[in-house]
Amino acid sequence: MFQGGKFAEEHNLDPFGFDPKTIDFVLLTHAHADHCGRLPRLYKEGFHGQVYATEPTKDFARIMLLDSARVIFSEALAENRLPLYLAEDVEGVMALFKEQNYREPFQPTADIRVQARDAGHILGSAFFEVWVKEGGVEKKLVFSGDLGNPPQPIVRDTEFADSADLVVLESTYGGRIHEPAEMRLKMLQEAITESVGRGGVLMIPAFALERTQEVLYELNHLVENKLVPPVPIFIDSPLAIKATEVYKKYINLYDAESRALISAGDDLFNFPGIHYTPTPSESKKINQWPAPKVILAGSGMLVGGRIGYHLKYNLGDPKNHLLIISWQPQGGLGRQLLEGAKSVVVAGERLAVKARVSAIGAYSSHADQPKLLHWVKMMAQKTPQKVFVVHGEEKQSLMVADGLKEKLGLNGVVPVVGEVFEI
């Protein structure tokens, strides 16, 4: 699903460029909307093959897609047009899911073998090793999906493939070097402490899936160890609350540190001062609470969700602080704020920006350029003939391709739509 403002989202209405009826199967790396958001449309237009994914990805996909269908329907109604898909299309495609465990090879067709490995991006995320045999010759394709940014709370570190003939590699942060992971906890601690000291509101827009749970993990640590002053903390996202319940089902997939905390009796998602506000009425009552307070709300990219409601109430007060911890698309509201806009339009209303705006890059769940290149470098048994660099703004993709050539001596290709490659 295309994301990043009205222009990008209009591409979701474009034809697929292929006949969905001819697709044998789908390999779904994880349940973020930019990866799974048009699966119901694929089903609606005739796809009836299998969708292979890990068990958590299946659970997350259901709640993400049903929420997406709800939003799509309401927007289509407001704009007097047909919706991209309906909830019944979500249920239809969910019936096609087939769960796969990590490191357990499966064979979706007679000439293709596949194995899912842990991508370390979000809980249940995978990259896929795919062996394709044709004319007695077998070649191996490795599809990265989104690679993680270890060390991250809760999820295990990204695994590596040892060989590939061809690689399809993401490049979301292909031109960046993230802040050290240990800095994010310190920066979050400082943001909370400063907001409490000023008597202000700390707003944190967060993705419902993964980012909210990651911040909750670190808030749990800060609160229970009395590293921040007591302050009410609101989780104001119905989708994030549902996703957190899914997280609780898969403790077996947590990293060793998180499992040890749970074994010692720590509830990672429940601590003094936390308030979950799933209903609209509970959400509205947040404004009745006196500051200081901390609000985590969707969406992480400040498009839709309840964050707009909180921006409207709090962006004009210099005591308040907007802390951005998620990737922001070029031209989007979040990018405008980070670039120092003095006023912005939120839900059709122009607001003065007087609150402090800052960002923590170390919360990214995407590998930066050094980690992307290292992941490819680990394919030492057989180095890839080509690395197709995708899933990033053009500048980021080109910087990864340059890095592959200069640092690893590999052929990095940034494909464009419509280009054809023979494997």
Q: Both 22 and 158 in a single domain?
A: yes
Instruction: Note whether 142 and 23 are same-domain residues.
Output: yes
In a domain, 418, yes or no: no
Structural domain span for residue 100: 6-176+365-413
- In order, the DSSP letters of 170-192 are E-TBTT--PPPHHHHHHHHHHHH
293 inside domain: yes
Q: Which residue has the tokens 């002053």?
A: 229
Task: Identify whether residues 190 and 321 lie together within a single domain.
Answer: yes
Identify the CATH number of the domain in which residue 34 sits: 3.60.15.10
Contact 269, 247 (CB under 8 A): yes
The four Cα atoms 154, 156, 157, 161 give a dihedral, to 10 degrees, of -150
Buried (b) or exposed (e) across 264-294, using 16+ Cβ within 10 A?
Answer: eeeebbebeebbbbeeeeebeebeeeebbbb
Segment holding 410, helix H or strand E = none
- The residue out of 363, 382, 403 marking a domain boundary is 363
* pLDDT tens-digit series, residues 201-252: 999 999 999 999 999 999 999 999 999 999 999 999 999 999 999 999 999 9
pLDDT at 329: 84
- For residues 402-410, give the mean pLDDT: 97
270 and 148 housed in the same domain? no
pLDDT band at 75 (very low <50, low <70, confident <90, very high): confident
Question: Is the same domain home to 31 and 129?
Answer: yes
- Do 258 and 145 belong to one domain? no
pLDDT of residue 331 exceeding 90? no
Residue 6's pLDDT band (boundaries 50, 70, 90)?
A: low
pLDDT of 4 above 70? no
pLDDT of residue 304: 83
Residue 261 included in any domain: yes
pLDDT tens across 116-130, in order?
999 999 999 999 999
Report the DSSP beta bridge partners of residue 112: 109, 132
Q: Do 145 and 223 have their domain in common?
A: no
What is the tens place of the pLDDT at every residue in 368-377?
999 999 999 9
What was the pLDDT predicted at 9?
72
Q: Are residues 171 and 189 in the same domain?
A: no
Task: Give the residue from 348, 363, 378 where a domain finishes.
Answer: 363
Number of domains the chain contains: 2
Q: What share of the chain is helix, strand, coil (3-state, %, to 5)?
A: 35, 20, 45
Choosing from 332, 348, 363, the residue where a domain stops is 363
pLDDT of residue 179: 83
**pLDDT tier for residue 266 given thresholds of 50, 70 and 90:** very high
156 and 255 in a single domain? The answer is no
Coil/strand/helix, residue 167: strand
pLDDT beyond 60 at 7: no
Q: Is residue 95 part of a domain?
A: yes
Same domain, 238 and 352: yes
Mean pLDDT lowest for which of 212-216, 312-316, 329-333? 329-333
Q: How far apart are CA 34 and CA 30, in angstroms?
A: 10
Domain membership flag for residue 423: no
The answer, yes or no, to whether residue 165 has pLDDT greater than 90, is yes
Give the percent of the chain with pLDDT over 90: 87
User: Mean pLDDT, to the nearest integer, of 257-272?
Assistant: 97
pLDDT band at 167 (very low <50, low <70, confident <90, very high): very high
Answer yes or no: is 422 within a domain.
no
Closest to 355 measured CA to CA, from 295, 323, 315, 310: 315
Winning range, highest mean pLDDT, from 2-6, 12-16, 199-203:
199-203
Question: Looking at the structure, do residues 303 and 395 belong to the same domain, yes or no?
Answer: no
What average pLDDT does the chain have? 95
Per-residue pLDDT at 303: 85
Residues 356 and 330 in one domain: yes
**CATH code: domain of residue 221:** 3.40.50.10890
The reported pLDDT for the residue numbered 387 is: 98
Task: Confirm whether 1 is domain-assigned.
Answer: no
**Does any domain span residue 237?**
yes
